[in-house]
Amino acid sequence: MHKHSHDSDRILRVATYNIHKGVQGLGPARRLEIHNLGQAVQQLDADLVFLQEVRKLHRRYAQHFPHWPELPQADFLAPEGYHAVYRTNAITRHGEHGNALLSRWPVLGHQHQDISDHRFEQRGLLHVEVHAHGRRLHAIVVHLGLIPGSRIRQTQQLQEFIAREVPAGDPLVVAGDFNDWGVQTRHMLAEFGLTELDAPRAYTYPARLPLVQLDHIYARGLQPLGLLVPRGRLWWRMSDHLPLIAEFRLDPP
């Protein structure tokens, strides 16, 4: 895959990344990775970056880490000139976290839907409309639950949301942490015209020794060109997931 190409190619580069709330390690070995993640997001050089486990604030960590950013993480991670959209999924004792989209393209609008399946896991989907290469493009950031039954019901909610909110002719990208290394979600989304480039071994989890692919980029109305997972020590130190990058060609309107 090449670096970002000219506008005339109508190439759309998309990345999805679960950033583990910007902190890695346990106990005294905890370390703040949000500054490294900021450089990493820039290196991804994507037009759209789908982020999960993004903190808006965390009062305890803000006191614990001297270099905790003053900005919410989505704004902090957005490269210069990008638009950041963040919506909360979960409110916790010390703060809150959720999904975000960073866009190189102008944002036309956004909305959020709670898809929590039970009270122990707060989950949501973030829908953002952007103006890319003269077209309206829909981006949906998802983070599905840990329980298989929950994921099936959440995927049904996602399908209903798309049927209701996304016009059939508009290009659509659905990406994020699906918490699913089986084929259930893939089959359900395929019924809806959402497909994924089938790349061998696009494993994203666990970052240090990736064995499964939990992170996916599905699309409709776009021509898939390639899929890439950056690897190496730099990446596995920053989060328990590796990022996934896909490139598409967008047809003219």
The 10s digit of each residue's pLDDT in 44-81 is: 999 999 999 999 999 999 999 999 999 999 999 999 99
Residue 4: its pLDDT value, please?
52
Q: What is the average per-residue pLDDT within 158-173?
A: 96
Residue 8: its pLDDT value, please?
59
Give counts: helices (H), strands (E), the chain: 6, 13
92 vs 162, more confident: 162
Residue 253: its pLDDT value, please?
80
Percent of the residues in the chain that have a pLDDT greater than 90, as a whole number = 81
Residue 81 contacts residue 89 (beta carbons within 8 Å): no
Residue 88: its pLDDT value, please?
84
Q: What is the average per-residue pLDDT within 105-118?
A: 93
Nearby residues of 118 by Cβ (< 8 Å), 6 or more positions away: 145, 147, 150
Closest of 23, 25, 16, 83 to residue 52, by C-alpha: 16
Residue 153 contacts residue 125 (beta carbons within 8 Å): no
Residue 26: its pLDDT value, please?
85
Q: What is the average per-residue pLDDT within 122-139?
A: 95
**Threshold 0.75, pTM exceeds:** yes
Closest of 55, 50, 51, 49 to residue 21, by C-alpha: 55
Bond from prior residue into 206 cis (ω within 30 degrees of 0): yes
- What are the φ and ψ backbone dihedral angles of 20, each rounded to 5 degrees? 55, 35
Residue 226 contacts residue 12 (beta carbons within 8 Å): no
What mean pLDDT is reported for the chain? 93
Is residue 51 helix, strand or coil?
strand
pLDDT at 126 over 80: yes
pLDDT at 36 over 80: yes
Q: What is the average per-residue pLDDT within 142-156?
A: 95
> pLDDT band at 41, cuts 50/70/90?
very high
Residue 195: strand pairing partners: 219
Q: What is the average per-residue pLDDT within 77-96?
A: 92
Residue 225: its pLDDT value, please?
96
Residue 110: its pLDDT value, please?
97
Percent of the residues in the chain that have a pLDDT greater than 70, as a whole number = 97
